[in-house]
Amino acid sequence: MHPVLLVLQLHVASTLDTTAARAAALVQHARAGRGARGQSTAEYALVLLGAATVAVVFLAWAGKTSRIGKLFDAVLDTVIGKV
């Protein structure tokens, strides 16, 4: 085999090996990032679920009592009294 062809084959082989290693590293990095992104999405969904639960409980309580109406009346009376 001609020495130039041997050098060319070694160069191509080393370039392909480096490219394969880079591609594998990028895939691994992308997979790691996807898991963290999914985790923060799940945490966000849980926070929204908790907030919605608190809102539903509050609205159920407010619907059964007249305290909210009394609170609004007191606030409006105070605002009107100061104007």
Give the pTM. Answer: 0.42
Encode 32-66: b = buried (16+ Cβ within 10 Å), e = exposed.
eeeeeeeeeeeeeeeeeeeeeeeeeeeeeeeeeee
Res. 72: pLDDT tops 80: yes
Q: How confident is the model at residue 2 (pLDDT cuts 50, 70, 90)?
A: low
* Alpha helices per DSSP H over 1-83: 3-64, 67-82
Per-residue pLDDT of 13-25, as tens digits, reads: 666 666 667 767 7
Per-residue pLDDT of 31-71, as tens digits, reads: 665 556 667 788 888 999 999 999 998 888 877 888 888 88
For 75, residues 6+ apart whose C-beta sits below 8 A from its C-beta are none
